[in-house]
Amino acid sequence: MPDLSLVILYVDNPTARAAFYADLLGQPPVEVSPTFAMFKLPSGTGIGLWSRHTVEPVAAAAGGGGELAFIADDVDAVHADWAGRGLPIAQLPTELDFGRSFVALDPDGHRLRIFAPAGR
């Protein structure tokens, strides 16, 4: 069975978004060009940022149609940090069926979920 190795977000400006995600993730991208940037997370999964103007085949969605979910030990601390950075918050920290969570938005409208699984 195939294994997920890379999630690609279609963005307006990969170079600018690489700077945004480098600051947010606290690590530099492993690749940056005018049309694509990529990060490798400690889990081994990658996040690709592909220009919506050059992606092939052409993407129908303008962005913001998906969500990246990150596990964190302290949801409220990450929320305070990201809100302090000026990220739009789509959902304040709250208890959901799967655990404590909040959702922020990146500059292209992609949802960034931080969560701590219930019972962890």
What per-residue confidence (pLDDT) applies to 99?
93
Q: pLDDT by residue (tens digit) across 30-82?
A: 999 999 999 999 999 999 999 988 888 887 666 556 789 999 999 999 999 99
Domains belonging to the chain, first-starting first, are 1-57 (3.30.720.120), 64-120 (3.10.180.10)
Instruction: Give ∠ CA 5-63-97 in degrees, rounded to 5.
Output: 70
What per-residue confidence (pLDDT) applies to 119?
79
What per-residue confidence (pLDDT) applies to 1?
67
Are 67 and 114 a contacting pair, CB within 8 Å? no
3-state secondary structure string across 62-107: CCCCCEEEEECCCHHHHHHHHHHCCCCEEEEEEEECCEEEEEEECC
What per-residue confidence (pLDDT) applies to 66?
72
To the question of pTM greater than 0.85 for the whole model, the response is: no
**Element (DSSP H or E) covering residue 38:** strand 36-40
What per-residue confidence (pLDDT) applies to 57?
81
